[in-house]
Structure 1
Amino acid sequence: MQPLILPVLLASLWTVCTRAGDWCYQSQFTCDHQCNGPDKWNHANSNCGGKYQSPINIVTRKTLTDERLTPFQFNNYQQIFRGTIKNNGHTVVVGVPHLSTISGGGLPSTYKAVQFHLHWGKNGGPGSEHTIDGEQYPMELHIVHMKSQYNDLTTALADQEGVAVLGFFYEKSNSANRKYDPIINSLRSIKATNTNTSLLSISLTQLIPSEQNLTAYYRYKGSLTTPGCTEAVIWTLFENPIPLSMDQLRVFSELKFHDGNPMVETFRPVQPLNGRQVFRSGSAVILASSALLIATIATALGLSQPN
């Protein structure tokens, strides 16, 4: 019986090490900081073990065109506001006045903006939550909206289509994106968890690509990507990424978790589709078809040239 003692002891130590109360990202988990990593989020909230969870990997060749996915109507997105940006221990979040709304785009209702937050990697490394054909971008922006008739997110989340999130990817750029200066500059003041600072005047429009570059997107139904993981979210993920320089991306990694360690790799791993269909806007398919048509014509012209 003695040879069994060591394996049993190691197993019990592993159980102690992985026992936790609060949820955390994988980058936070250590035996000194015992928390529920992403594979144990269902211990923190049972909804996280649901069937239709987010984020997901979008396999573009398996997406279907949905002609109802027309361009969005963005109302008051250009509205200037002075918000508060907070390090909440998991990300940075900015509350948005409920004046900016989205409609169209195949949505069943008008939705008003509530807040936006970000997910990132480590010093500009892979950090987006959603992936496209397995590619993970450096960072992802989520602008969270709720149906216009609701006054708070808790109520909206009780509706299976109560929340609509617009997701945007970031790409590395050789030059800084000056439209992001208000956010980047404020991060140095909120490195510690539960600190906040006033944000200089900003608008949602300045954070995202121009409206004419927002016609190509993906759509699916899923969940919040943090506990409680409520499955009440209509997801829209735009193809065109937002440029940020490496220096700008690195500033996010200077933020701190509550234990003082760098706030890095703040993303949930992709979740199973479990039979869900991902749709693609007609504009995205038209763009792809146009590119294919141009390539075909170019090839035909090339073949028709005399040797």
Structure 2
Amino acid sequence: MQQLILPVLLVSFLTTCTRAGDWCYQSQFACDHQCNAPGNWNHAHSDCEGRNQSPINVVTRKTLKDERLTPFKFDNYQQIFRATIKNNGHSVQVGVPNLSTISDGGLPGGYKAVQFHLHWGNNGGPGSEHTIDGEQYPMELHIVHMKQHYTDLTTALSDPEGVAVLGFFYERSTSANRKYEPIIKALQNIKAANGNTSLNSISLAQLIPPEKNLTTYYRYKGSLTTPGCTEAVIWTLFENPIPLSVEQLRAFSELKFQNGKQMVGTFRPVQPLNGRQVFRSGGAAILASSALLVAAIAMAFALSPVD
């Protein structure tokens, strides 16, 4: 009988450990901090087991070129603004004045910026939410927009196309990205959960690649990547990554979760496509074609007879 009691108690203990409290990332879960890790987010929010969830793995050879995915029009992205940067217990988030807008790019109208936040790994290790052909980048930036006529994000999320998120990947660089210094410095003041501080003058344009390098992107319809996982997001994932030094990437891992644990691994695992199609912009196809053309010319020269 005693041999049976131990396994039963162990199973009971593990069950208690895996289903309790609010949602959290896998890196945050511990039996002294019981919470719903990504595999159990549906216990906290039922929409998290929907069929059009994000993030996803983009398999580039299965993407379809869509001529409607023209270059974006960025308005007031150069606008300098002051804001508050906050450790919200799950990520770093910055509210953005609604002056900055995006249009074109295959969107069904104009969208205004609401906020941006980031997802990262552990001390510069793999940490992006979306992956490209299985590659996970060190970090991912999400600039969240809502349709221009909405006044709050909650209302926008009731519209199946109410929210548009621009996703940018980061890559390790041998030198620091000076444009990110205001954010990196501010992180020192918000290490504890719910900490916030003023962010020196900044613009959205300085955080992302130059506009001329933003014609190559992928598009699909999905959801928020945190609970409630609402399926109301038009996703755009840009190919060109943003460079940050290893030291800059590591600065994000110095933040703390609500339970005081190191804030690392702040990404949701990729979700099934469930039959959804991922599209690519004309820019992506043109770049690929140019590469093939250069290769073909090189091959032709290599094979041409020498006099």
Q: TM-score range by the shorter chain?
A: over 0.9
Q: 1:7 offset after TM fit, Å?
A: 2.3
Deviation at 1:251, TM superposition (A): 0.3
C-alpha separation between the residues in 2 aligned to 1:93 and 1:2? 52
Query: What SS does structure 2 have at the residue aligned with 1:215?
Result: coil
The question of 1:268 aligning with 2:253 is answered no
**Aligned-partner residue type, residue 301 of structure 1:** F
Q: Is the 8 A contact 2:23 2:37 kept in 1?
A: yes
Residue in structure 2 matched with residue 25 of structure 1 by the alignment: 25
Query: What does residue range 23-172 of structure 1 map to in structure 2 within 5 Å?
Result: 23-172=23-172
Identity %: 79
Superposed counterparts of 1:165-184, under 5 Å: 165-184=165-184
Number of the residue aligned with 1:213: 213
CA displacement at 1:123 relative to structure 2: 0.5
What is the CA–CA distance in structure 1 between the aligned matches of 2:292 and 2:282, rounded to whole Å?
Answer: 15
Q: What TM-score results when the alignment is normalised by the length of structure 2?
A: 0.99
For residues 9-62 of structure 1, the C-alpha deviation after alignment (integer angstroms, 9 at most, x for no partner) is 211111111121200000001101100000000001000010000000000000
Letter aligned with residue 197 of structure 2: T
1:14 paired with 2:14, answer: yes
Offset from partner CA, 1:158-217 (integer Å, 9 cap, x none): 000000000000000000000001100100000000010000000000000000000000
CA distance in 2, matches of 1:188, 1:222: 33
Letter in structure 2 aligned against 1:192 = A
SS in 2 for 1:186: helix
Contact 2:19 2:40 in 1 (8 A): no
CA distance in 1, matches of 2:6, 2:112: 57
CA distance in 1 between counterparts of 2:192 and 2:2 reads: 48
Q: Which runs of 5+ in 1 are unaligned?
A: none
Letter in 2 for 1:294: V
Corresponding position: 1:288 with 2:295:
no
DSSP 3-state at the match of 2:11:
helix
Kindly provide the amino acid, as one letter, of the partner of residue 286 in structure 1: I
1:244 lines up with 2:254 in the alignment: no
Structure 2 alignment gaps of length 5 or more: none
In 1, are the aligned partners of 2:170 and 2:242 still within 8 Å (CA)? yes
Distance 2:41 2:221 in 1: 20
Cα offsets for 1:230-252 (capped at 9, x unmatched)? 00000000000000000100000
Structure 2: distance between partners of 1:45 and 1:25 = 14
Matched residue type, 1:62:
K
CA distance in 2, matches of 1:197, 1:6: 50
Cα root mean square deviation, aligned = 1.0
Provide the aligned length of Structure 1 versus Structure 2.
307
Distance (Å, rounded) in 2 between the aligned partners of 1:241 and 1:82? 25
1:258 Cα deviation from its structure 2 partner: 1.3
Instruction: Please list the CA deviations of residues 53-77 of structure 1 after superposition, one character each: whole Å capped at 9, or x if unmatched.
Output: 0000000000000000000000000
SS of 1:200's equivalent in the other structure is: strand
Partner of 2:255: 255
Residue 5 of structure 1 aligns with an amino acid whose one-letter code is: I
SS of the aligned residue for 1:168 comes to strand
Residue 3 of structure 1, CA deviation: 4.2
Name the residue aligned to 2:229.
Answer: 229
Letter in 2 for 1:229: C
C-alpha separation in 1, matches of 2:165 and 2:204: 14
Q: Secondary structure at the match of 1:22?
A: coil
SS in structure 2 of the partner of residue 199 of structure 1:
strand
3-state SS of 2:262 partner? coil
Report the Cα offset of residue 291 of structure 1.
0.4
In structure 1, distance between residues paired with 2:8 and 2:261: 32
Residue identity matched to 1:174: T
Cα separation, 2, equivalents of 1:206 and 1:130: 22
**Rounded Cα–Cα distance in structure 2 between residues aligned with 1:157 and 1:305:** 63
Equivalent residue of 1:144, what SS? Answer: strand
